[in-house]
Structure 1
């Protein structure tokens, strides 16, 4: 698993988590979406104006309203397994607004466009997934880097293979988010894709400055966001 993770920037870890835990997390995410979801439809300048179209539950809403999610995030057995795969220590996310995120894609065209993460590690719980022919698949280009002033996404796509992954409902994967350019393929019809994202930092992240105003999941009116016009 560690070899695959370091080669491709991603590895499936579904079998590390009991089915009843994955089912409980799905029910919790659906509850939180019902009580706290906010819709986002925008493009983000710092990723070359790629699109964000989905409903979200921001991090603080999750942290303040779900003991299940916060206790799972801090579970020593889970954290130990992820650290073994990563080959390094995972630190709690230094920014409260990025520790957790629940997203729900639900309308035709919904997508989480090409992007990277500010922090190194993410555990993605694919709680509900549409059929493979509907979209919502994950695409990745590993071993890339994010320059927010010149993201060069099309250059990376033209110069490197794009790996495409289909995850079913209940799957979980571990992603190296700061060096893996990734997106979800837009939905071709109304359908449901729900994920929970848990984020951790590496040693390298603890002294970095995150001053770009592009935290769209927390605030739809950040300066890097622009409205979708089509």
Structure 2
């Protein structure tokens, strides 16, 4: 497959004015070649993951980072084990309602025609807005050694993750996932969200855990409802990982559990 150029490019008449510019107006769609698009769709159907290098242009990334920095100032710190999965959450977060209220430039991305068109091109199907008031768009900040977002499944099918900051090589913060986790659990007669540590160890022993690193400005698309995934712990002091996760459904109506409320919608859990 040829290298994918940025999914969003800078308009020719763009003049950088930091927070005076609307990120929605700054980015424009990038069309994939038919061959590249076919390859990426086949990869997504097979593994549920597509890496999108340089998803944002340098100028778009600068505005994106500034908005994220403002949002981090009011993000909520979390440190607990998620019930059911019994996997750690150690990070700072801002849910959809906070982003909408305090980061309108960032919020505008969720409804951007170019972004949604890109996701639909890659999945080969129509997408729908996530109906959960917090989970449709979240910001996650890992900024301490050991910070992690432990193993889990999402309720919405598609997660588009965009990187404002990323650790240096071997600094942790990579995404790990196990493709077709629901099928594995069905074959093993196990619950996909309960007492999973031994099954994860089995998947690791059998080479079924994929790991991918990303740079600032990159993105990736994940089939997050059927692929168990996590963010590896940060390894060094001073390393940072800040991302926005935009979630989309495969249908107009969907059911949601309590995990998003615990992480993004309720007071801190110590």
| TM-score (ref. length: structure 2) | 0.74
Unaligned 5+ segments in structure 2 are: 1-39, 186-190
Q: Does the C-alpha gap of structure 1 residues 24 and 163 become closer, same or farther in structure 2, counting only changes over 3 Å?
A: same
Which residue of 1 is the match for residue 124 of structure 2?
Answer: 87
Structure 1 position 130, deviation (Å): 1.1
Which residue of 1 is the match for residue 255 of structure 2?
Answer: 209
**1:13-52 residue pairs with structure 2 within 5 A?**
13-34=52-73, 36-47=74-85, 49-52=86-89
Which residue of 2 is the match for residue 158 of structure 1?
Answer: 202
Structure 1 position 15, deviation (Å): 4.6
Measured in 2, the distance between the counterparts of 1:82 and 1:74 equals: 12
Q: 139, 160, 163: which one pairs with 1:123?
A: 160
Which residue of 1 is the match for residue 175 of structure 2?
Answer: 138
Greater RCO (Cα-Cα under 8 Å, separation 6 or more): 1
Local SS of the residue matching 1:200 = strand
Cα RMSD of the aligned pairs, angstroms, is 2.2
Which residue of 2 is the match for residue 71 of structure 1?
Answer: 108
How many aligned residue pairs are there? Answer: 220
- Could you list the per-position Cα deviations for residues 46-98 of structure 1 after superposition, in whole angstroms to 9, with x for gaps in the alignment? 22x10000111121010122232222211112211211111211111111111
User: In the alignment, is the contact (CA less than 8 A) between 1:139 and 1:185 conserved in 2?
Assistant: yes
Establish whether residue 10 from structure 1 lines up as the match of residue 54 from structure 2. no
User: In the alignment, is the contact (CA less than 8 A) between 1:114 and 1:153 conserved in 2?
Assistant: no
Which residue of 1 is the match for residue 93 of structure 2?
Answer: 56
Q: Which has the larger radius of gyration?
A: 2
Measured in 1, the distance between the counterparts of 2:244 and 2:89 equals: 16
Q: 185, 188, 194: which one pairs with 2:242?
A: 194
Measured in 2, the distance between the counterparts of 1:12 and 1:23 equals: 21
